[in-house]
Amino acid sequence: MVKKSTPKEFIIERDNEKCITCQACVRMCSNDAHVYQPETDTVISYDEKCVGCHFCETICPTGAITIRRNPSEFKPNANWDATAIRNIIKQAETGGVLLTGMGCDKPYPIYWDHILLNASQVTNPSIDPLREPMELRTYIGRKPDKINLKTKLTPQLKLETPILFSAMSYGSISLNACISLASAAEEIGTFYNTGEGGLPKDLYKFGKNTIVQVASGRFGVHKEYLEAGAAIEIKIGQGAKPGIGGHLPGEKVTQEISETRMIPEGTDALSPAPHHDIYSIEDLKQLIYALKEATRYKKPVGVKIAAVHNVAPIASGVVRAGADYVAIDGIRGGTGAAPLVIRDNVGIPIELAIAVVDQRLREEGIRNQASIIAAGGIRCSADIIKAIALGADAVYIGTSALVALGCSLCQKCYTGKCNWGIATQDPYLTKRLNPEIGKRRLVNLLRAWSLEIKEMLGGMGINAIESLRGNREQLRGIGLTDTELKILGIKPAGMAW
Amino acid sequence: MNTLIPDKDYRVASACGIVGIMSQKGKRFSGESIIKSIACMRERANGLGGGFAGYGIYPEFPEHYAFHLMYESEKSKKITEEYLHQNFIIEKDEAIPVQEIPEIKRNPLLWRYFLKPNIKNYDLSEEDFVVKCVMFINTQIEDAFVSSSGKNMGIFKGVGYPEDIGRFFKLEDYSGYIWTAHGRFPTNTVGWWGGAHPFGLLDWSVVHNGEISSYGINKRYLENFGYHCTLFTDTEVITYLFDLLHRKHNLSFEVIANILAAPFWSDIEREKNLERKNFLETLRIIYGSALLNGPFAVIVANRNTMIGLNDRIKLRPLVCAVKDDFLYIASEESAIREICKNPDKVWMPKAGEPTIGNLKE
């Protein structure tokens, strides 16, 4: 057996002056990177085991630990960079598909950072959100073209702020993480999404703030499940892994998860790549209406797709098939586990997808027939307001929510060893995430972002979010090509109305 | 210098003075009083645009579409007239009478036509056909612009202070039962005669003081229903919204006010009448993209109605008054008092609360 030759990614620096050998790091690290040496009464660290999650650094009572990237560098090579070399070494050793977690980390253009917002000056007063009403309420669902005396709307989701928590299954994340998301959604007046993990008993009480997902594996889908949520979402694809299914390893399928997903304990939970009852758009229509029938047309049924090259016509087909909303997940959308090569190379950025889908639906005169929820790498309130101005009704956030819960994007979710108690089912780790505190942090995040959105809206002289939705006049592009500007449907910075 | 240029290609925001007078009994009165009234608000304009709309001014042609055209060249007149001949029966055409005054230095060729549509194979209503023709001339024929296209009404506008424009067009010689006027303070571009207000389409005329921050989405919303905003003005968007909501969706002006200047969610929550609460909520959900956000005070008229409306937080002034069957709406009370010393009632409508004058015949 040759020595494992993948160079270590991180270096654990321990300041022995500060270390009091309390062994907190030893007890806490799920990767066993720290080991106590009774002979010398010291703690030593194994750099090669470190995943860079920074948990030990955070909990060390004396601040003795610093995690750094390994400064040892390969000979510089623009083509053969460290990642490429490391990955080849790993595959030469294992012969397997490289797995990863979270969203694409490649330096593709982030269009949010090439879009600037407008503000009022002189001719139009800006509005102070501290003194004037500023409305973020958003309704997700199908709207008719016009009103008449008999108009009764199909069911809508009422959001007090245009931000929802993205689909993350019980299984990929811990029950405590699910409870944090669900209770935060309840307090804010928005929704979280079960992902395809079914709905654990403890979460039924959050039903009115829940979107239940129906994915290709149909895990945990039954009558009570469909009826428990405020809306149903058919998951066709996911930004981190368009075109492929999911895989929850048997090790993670504990008794509780086996009950929730309705599969034997310890067996792998495999979601097929396609839905095997949906090989075409007319089949999707059947499933949409089957779910609507099953729930007596009392709930909106949405469809989640990954942003791929042909996303605009696909979204149009989805709307015509009867979806009440289309969720679109861009290439930077996160995941609990995906093949690295898929995550980093398949799909398109969400900014472009929103622009082309909104435009396409408008050209076809069907934009009001469904709402658009955008997802995939949304980092801050500015990204949200830009997404809405491009044409989204609301956004899904996944990674941002997990970061609020402690995640530091070490991208090792698939190992089930998450030190933060988020992407793990190990009771020793999950108890680190207190759902009360988790909820508070998520509520804080949504509150802070909502306040910032109100400030930006007021600056533009707008006091209701619907006047920003699709209002691309409020956006200008910077450092973009003519083609990119055209696709985004925005003017370049410096151009007046 | 060309008078028919620039702001065709840009969106022009402007601040302005507006006034409207209506005899709800349909008594016709001369344009002199509206000139006097708008002159009082000279401060609110900067000489780059003024205009008037009068209803009931062409009683000899009550059922003909009265097209007012602005031409920058003889050639454009020739092309436009060929187009009109193909699509309409021209009952009469003549130069719009004007008097040369020193304040108005350059003007396009101003011509009017009294037309009946000559619809052959079109699968369109008469009104949609006329709209289509107006759009065609305004976008496809160079140097020609239709400023007015309604029946028994006319829009007179140009570059200058409104009182000068009024004298230039000799409005004292016309009499109508509704008059609206506009003095413009555009914030960019040299004035273009077609860009002055009122903006008109069919019987609609709109005078407007404000800047719509929701313009981008209002425009795209209208595209959903086949309206193409070619003039890049807020006024155009407002006009099309009224046309869509009133003529096509059959909504009353009260309901339209609840869409364009929608009540706040918090006000809707407080509504005690459950049926009305549901109605207002549904209305906002359906028509969110038609909400006009940003400051505006607007006076919209058609042959039967004159409506004054403010934005939802009243960021621009608007005052109303009544005297007998006369309704007055203006940016400033002084403009009303100038022509009506002792109104029966003067009030400031609340944000989003429409003031509606109806013709009682």
Please report, for the domain that includes residue A26, its CATH number. 3.30.70.20
* pTM of this structure: 0.92
Q: Is residue A368 part of a domain?
A: yes
Q: Is residue B21 part of a domain?
A: yes
Produce one character per residue of B143-173: b if its CB has 16 or more CB atoms within 10 Å, e if not: bbbbbbbbbbbbbbbbbbbbbbbbbbbebee
Mean pLDDT of A268-273: 90
How far is Cα of residue B168 from the mean position of the Cα atoms in its chain?
Answer: 20
Residue B202: pLDDT over 90? yes
Q: Is residue A1 part of a domain?
A: no
Angstrom distance (rounded) from CA A27 to CA A31 = 10
- The band of A2, judged by pLDDT with boundaries at 50, 70 and 90, is low
Residues in chain A with CB shorter than 8 Å from the CB of B10 are: 496-497
Contact A497 B232 (CB under 8 A): yes
Residue with tokens 């269009």: A111
- Summarised one tens digit per residue, pLDDT across range A485-495 is 999 999 999 99
Q: Is B216 at the interface with chain A, CB within 8 A?
A: yes
Q: Is B190 at the interface with chain A, CB within 8 A?
A: no
Assess whether A182 and A330 both reside in one domain. yes
Domain with B176, as residue range(s), is 16-358
Angle at B59 between CA B56 and CA B64, to 5 degrees: 95
Assess whether A167 and A83 both reside in one domain. no
Q: Is residue A4 part of a domain?
A: no
Assess whether A313 and A368 both reside in one domain. yes
Assess whether A71 and A24 both reside in one domain. yes
Q: Is residue A269 part of a domain?
A: yes
Assess whether A417 and A292 both reside in one domain. yes
What is the pLDDT, as a whole number, of residue B2? 45
Residue A181: CATH number of its domain: 3.20.20.70
CB B70 within 8 A of CB B193: yes
- Interhelix angle for A311-320 vs A350-363, to 10°? 50
Assess whether A87 and A184 both reside in one domain. no
The two structure tokens encoding residue A324: 């009440």
What is the pLDDT, as a whole number, of residue B1? 37
Number of H helices, E strands in chain B: 10, 18
Domain count, chain B: 1
What is the pLDDT, as a whole number, of residue A159? 98
Q: Is residue B167 part of a domain?
A: yes
Domain with A44, as residue range(s), is 10-96
- Summarised one tens digit per residue, pLDDT across range A143-184 is 999 998 788 899 999 999 999 999 999 999 999 999 999 999
Q: Is residue A5 part of a domain?
A: no
Q: Is residue B331 part of a domain?
A: yes
What is the pLDDT, as a whole number, of residue B263? 96
Of residues B11, B223, B282, nearest to A153 (C-beta): B282
Q: Determine the distance in angstroms separating the CA of B294 from the nearest CA of chain A, rounded to an integer.
A: 6
Assess whether A453 and A304 both reside in one domain. yes
Residues in chain B with CB shorter than 8 Å from the CB of A468 are: 214, 217
What is the pLDDT, as a whole number, of residue A375? 98
Q: Which of A45, A66, A96 is the last residue of a domain?
A: A96
Q: Is B262 at the interface with chain A, CB within 8 A?
A: yes
Q: Is residue B2 part of a domain?
A: no
Angstrom distance (rounded) from CA A98 to CA B10 = 53
Residues in chain B with CB shorter than 8 Å from the CB of A139 are: 285
Assess whether A63 and A171 both reside in one domain. no
The CA distances from residue A101 to A340, A376, A406, in Å, are 8, 14, 15
Query: In a 3-state reduction of DSSP, which class is residue B162?
Result: helix
Q: Is residue A431 part of a domain?
A: yes
Q: Which of A70, A96, A122 is the last residue of a domain?
A: A96
Q: Is residue B7 part of a domain?
A: no
Residues in chain B with CB shorter than 8 Å from the CB of A467 are: 213-214, 217, 288, 291-294
Beta-sheet strand order (sheet of A192-193): A163-165, A394-397, A371-375, A325-329, A301-306, A231-235, A210-214, A192-193
Q: Is residue B164 part of a domain?
A: yes
Angle at B67 between CA B66 and CA B69, to 5 degrees: 150
CA-based nearest residue in chain A for residue B11: A497
Q: Is residue A101 part of a domain?
A: no
Angle at A432 between CA A427 and CA A434, to 5 degrees: 110
Q: Determine the distance in angstroms separating the CA of A354 from the nearest CA of chain B, rounded to an integer.
A: 15
What is the pLDDT, as a whole number, of residue A423? 95
Residue to mutate among A142, A467, A475, A491, with most B CBs inside 10 A, is: A467
Domain count, chain A: 2
- Summarised one tens digit per residue, pLDDT across range B219-228 is 999 988 888 8
Assess whether A322 and A393 both reside in one domain. yes
Q: From the CB of residue A79, how many other CB atoms can be counted at a distance below 10 Å?
A: 5
Mean pLDDT of A52-80: 92
Residue B16 among the catalytic residues: yes
Angstrom distance (rounded) from CA A457 to CA B292 = 14
Assess whether A155 and A70 both reside in one domain. no
Residues in chain A with CB shorter than 8 Å from the CB of B13 are: 123-124, 497
Phi first, then psi: give them for residue B219, nearest 5 degrees.
Answer: -65, -45
Of residues B10, B11, B293, nearest to A464 (C-beta): B293
CA-based nearest residue in chain B for residue A474: B216
For A495, counting Cβ atoms within 10 Å of its Cβ (0-12 exposed, 13-18 middle, 19+ buried), the class is exposed
- Summarised one tens digit per residue, pLDDT across range B297-350 is 999 999 999 999 999 999 999 999 999 999 999 999 999 999 999 999 999 999
Q: Which of A47, A72, A96 is the last residue of a domain?
A: A96
What is the pLDDT, as a whole number, of residue B13? 52
- Summarised one tens digit per residue, pLDDT across range B121-134 is 667 889 989 988 99
The one-letter code for the residue type at B302 is N
What is the pLDDT, as a whole number, of residue A168? 96
CA-based nearest residue in chain B for residue A370: B286
Residue B54: CATH number of its domain: 3.60.20.10
- In DSSP notation, A3-38 reads PP-SPPSEEEEE-TTT-----HHHHH-TT--EEEET
Contact A133 B289 (CB under 8 A): no
What is the pLDDT, as a whole number, of residue B7? 46
Number of CB pairs, chain A paired with chain B, less than 8 A apart = 120
Instruction: Specify the range with the lowest mean pLDDT, choosing from A465-479, B165-179, B230-244, B329-343.
Output: B230-244
Q: Determine the distance in angstroms separating the CA of A463 from the nearest CA of chain B, rounded to an integer.
A: 7
Contact B211 A472 (CB under 8 A): no
Assess whether A77 and A139 both reside in one domain. no
Say which residue, A73 or A286, is predicted with more confidence: A286
- The band of B197, judged by pLDDT with boundaries at 50, 70 and 90, is confident
Residue B251: pLDDT over 50? yes
- In DSSP notation, A259-278 reads HHHTS-TTS-EEE-SS-TT-
Assess whether A89 and A122 both reside in one domain. no
CA-based nearest residue in chain A for residue B8: A497
Mean pLDDT of A409-430: 94
Q: Determine the distance in angstroms separating the CA of A245 from the nearest CA of chain B, rounded to an integer.
A: 36
Query: In a 3-state reduction of DSSP, which class is residue B122?
Result: coil
pLDDT, chain B, mean: 90
Contact B217 A469 (CB under 8 A): yes
